[in-house]
A = this chain, B = another copy of it.
């Protein structure tokens, strides 16, 4: 069967309108206050059109967030690992707190605590690609002798990123989340080769 190009264009337009409406509504009203009905109304489609493509509000909002993020998870590489980690972690905290995706992220993660399929989709589309980029950068810093080689880089990723998400999820407030970038120095104290310690 030949696909009908006109209907494919129509589908793509509807999909785009749904994701735009979901992202806009969640950003303005917060995840909890947005319904599938409201997304459908703003997108100019029926509710069944949404449920044909997504299983839940969380799934629509995750995809909208993904489109907003794009697929560029590249980690900065100036040759100075301390500076690059600070740059990157500052950018991530800004994005979480004040960025356009902040409400969507909070909503999706809240839902994902009780929805394993949504958590799996979040990990596959956002978390794991980000971790892979970070590990690649840490590997090159280990190779350059800027980080010790006896702590696995996946453990290092956890040590650098955990404080941001811990402070964010456990309600420490925006200032504390923003200051997560300051912790890079404290974590580095333990991860730099001992020979540098003087």
Q: How many copies does the complex hold?
A: 2
8 A Cβ contacts from A29-87 to B: 30-32
Q: How large is the interface on A (under 10, 10 to 19, 20 to 34, 35 or more residues)?
A: 35 or more
A110 and B107: CB pair below 8 A? no
Interface residue? A13 (CB, 8 A): no
Interface of A, helix, strand, loop or mixed by DSSP: helix
B170 and A165: CB pair below 8 A? yes
A113 and B110: CB pair below 8 A? yes
Q: How far is the CA of A162 from the CA of B186 in the complex (A)?
A: 14
A119 and B183: CB pair below 8 A? no
8 A Cβ contacts from A116-166 to B: 116, 119-120, 122-123, 127, 151, 155, 158-159, 161-163, 165-166
B-side contacts of A169, CB under 8 Å: 109, 113, 165, 169
Contact surface of A with B, Cβ cutoff 8 Å = 30-32, 106-107, 109-116, 119-120, 122-123, 127, 151, 155, 158-159, 161-163, 165-167, 169-171, 183, 186-191, 194, 197-198
